[in-house]
Amino acid sequence: MSNTVVINIRTETRLKNRAQQIAADLGFSLSSLINAYLKQLIRTKTVFFSSVSEEPTEFMLQALKESEADRKSGKSSPTFDTADGAISWLNNPHRKYAHQS
| Predicted pLDDT of residue 78 | 84
Same domain, residue pair 16 and 39: yes
Residue 96 counted as domain residue: no
Q: Is the pLDDT of residue 2 over 80?
A: no
How far lies 74's CA from each of 38, 66, 93, in Å? Answer: 50, 12, 18
28 shares its domain with 72:
no
**Model-level pTM?**
0.48
Spatial neighbors of 47 by CB under 8 A, at least 6 apart, are: 41
What are the pLDDT digits (tens) for 29-72? 999 999 999 999 999 999 887 766 678 889 999 999 999 998 88
* pLDDT at site 17: 96
Q: Residue 92's pLDDT band (boundaries 50, 70, 90)?
A: very high
State how many domains the chain has. Answer: 2
> Nearest Cα to 34, choosing from 60, 4, 67?
4
Structural domain for 2, as ranges: 1-49
Q: Is position 45 within any domain?
A: yes
pLDDT on residue 21: 95
For the stretch 73-82, pLDDT in tens is: 888 888 899 9
* pLDDT higher at 7 or 71: 7
